[in-house]
Structure 1
Amino acid sequence: MLAVVAVLVAASAVRVLTGTDALTGSGVVNAALRLAVPIGLAGLSGLWSERAGVANLGIEGMMIIGTVCGAWAGYTHGVWAGVLAGALGGIAAGLLHAVATVTFGVDQAVCGIAINILALGVARFLSVIAFSGLPGAGATQSPPVRGVIDTVSVPFLAGGAGTPDLLGDLERTRWFLVSDAAGILRGLLHEVSWFTVLAVALVLGSVVVLWYTAFGLRLRSAGEHPAAADSLGVPVHRMRYCGVLVSGALAGLAGSYLVTVSSNVYREGQTGGRGFIGLAAMIFGNWRPGGTAGGALLFGYADALQLRQATAVHVLLLLAAVLAWTAALVVLRRRPRTAAALALAGVAAFAVFQTTDAIPTQLIYATPYLVTLLVLVTVAQRLRMPTYAGLPYRRGET
């Protein structure tokens, strides 16, 4: 919480100094939330699988299957049918991964990569069959999905149901810290898709199921020490199957989100590597649902900022300098070398900010991926993945 407050104060100060209102504006935060949902679902997909002991590098492929299945069902039966079909398509891909890795002991990384490659061909095959000859569609694009998923705003705080928009009024005052906090909260509460509400419920449900139920304890034991779990009567293979199938369903939901909320059509290459960014969010979150959701919001924010106001990306350099200096002061006594490195990074970021007026366009578009790399490098020292994630298990092994 202290870190969150420190980032908010730094962002507010930078916003006031530079006049870049988009930095903490509700529009950017709302866009970040929309962009974070498929990444968060993909990260949650990897979390369920790896907590059960099966590394899932095929999330991108499962998302691809989810997009084409969701678009077909959405066009023929409506938008919510598309959501369900996307989840079922992801489950089918997850079942293939589970059979290969759990039952036959195929190398999990190789199998995941194979699913990604296979999904490209399967998606093209299915789209040719389902969409060719339809108006406005073809081998690489579907017709529009029928219907839309509605949005909801919280009454009185974000103007829902015709009530006053208190947070919006506070945001428009441009007060230090208060307006920034109001803008961020309004972005999370104003015109939020019901699919986003479902995604938040899945994050909370994952916390409850995995950490507060006997089923969750058994599933996590299959990824931490399967031999010990087996000796206590836990059906390790069944738990791993459950983890991978839930993983496939979540990845399929992430794919269906892209064709029902982000867009209303399927296009080839629509996932855009979000499955891999979701894995990065999972690692950032240390294989926990809350941290995974936070990582997804961070990557979604970087993407939203460059889409909503490209010049605001340049201001991130000043924010980075402020945060680096703040972190250096915090760790100065215990880790002087780390503090010195953070201070130098802050000086470098401030120098680039002072000597430039804009960031090259290529770097603006690469911002989400650069943030992904920086975050992974930063948090690498405190991570602890499930002990047996990625390792096959045969009964009788220790």
Structure 2
Amino acid sequence: MGDTAVTGTAQPGETVTLRIVQTGLQRSTVVEADGTFRFEGLPALEGGMTLIVQGYGRQDSTVVAGGTATPTPTPTPLPTGFYITIDPVCGPAGAQTITVRGFNWPTGNYLGIFFDGVRLVNSASKISTSSFVYTVNVPNATAYVQHEFKAEAWTKKDQTGTRVALATTPFTCPCPVPDLVVSSLELASTPPLGTFNKIDFAVNVTNQGGADIPSLFWVDLYEKVSPNPLTDTSRDYIAINGLPAGASIDFTMWVETGFATTGTHTITVLADTWSQIREYSESNNLSAPLVITVTQQNPVPSPTPTPAITPGPKGKIIGLTYLDMSPTNLVNVYVYDTVGRLIWSGFSRAQTLPSGNVINGYYEAELPPGDYTVVGQVRMATAIYRGQTVVTNLQSNEIRQQVDLNLTRIN
């Protein structure tokens, strides 16, 4: 890590995310009350690296100077003929109030303003100046449909005579923010299906919104029609490390131990399980239910023996789990003894410190005295990331700090 910092300004209280495209590094922070934000302790940046800062529906990027020269952008010239602008240029679905402004229009003509071909303004008299301002009410804008404002000038009233001017401009609905949906959920295992056998599912998740998702989010598979992540345990989960606007990703999820009973089972998949992504809609993240039928009854598997734990005072290990050099929650953490027995397992999580600060990727495990191998693993959509470290000679009542896990891709 170095002393590199990235600073900027944004709306106070909003969360902004920094992403370095070439390395995959991601950091998030909250904008201060004075409207400033700062990402500190970044690795040294190299010329040509692209930095993206995104938050609350906006996104800006820059290229680090050095290396390949970054061309100086050419300002976009104002139109020289007649044109119109609208404010706002985007909005949610439903009724809208829009201000339409015209510039450089031929005077002495009648004006009409349309939204998707429906006339909203029909001037009763000829326009006497080359500019105009109208506030119009759009009765219903539909999401993810191409909308258009149009202005026309005619020599006669009611759009008759000769049309002497026409200008259009698009209206975007919704504003460019992410919007995740589970596009498909299908059975990938070949029937007949048996109890206690692993069952695979093919899943596709799409960001149908107008802005990239630069940060990690989770996708969970449930055996329930309407799951509640706070009370229902998922049968499988994976992480997706960002998804560009309009992009989709295919991956496989599964029920590792299968189902204990024959008959029908209803499966759903929930994208952005923990609402980490600010989306256009938070109500369309759940897939349609998929009903599968298990027909074969298999023997109940023998339970895995539980290792005997030596009684007495224990020690504790504490660490953070890192993915792309960033502390990451919900990483699986496993602790094995010297003969490979699983002694402890759990997840890393957010932890509030006595100072009030919150750190991500925190885990702690109480263990008998001894030597251990600690493994962290997280399954991304199409990859597995793993890291491990060794703990030697843990003592009773000892608290071993900084048993950190740095995860790298293994497939």
Query: What TM-score comes out, normalization by structure 2 length?
Result: 0.17
* Structure with max Cα Rg: 2
Structure with more contact order per residue of length (Cα contacts < 8 Å, sep ≥ 6): 1
More helix by share: 1
More strand by share: 2
Query: What TM-score comes out, normalization by structure 1 length?
Result: 0.17
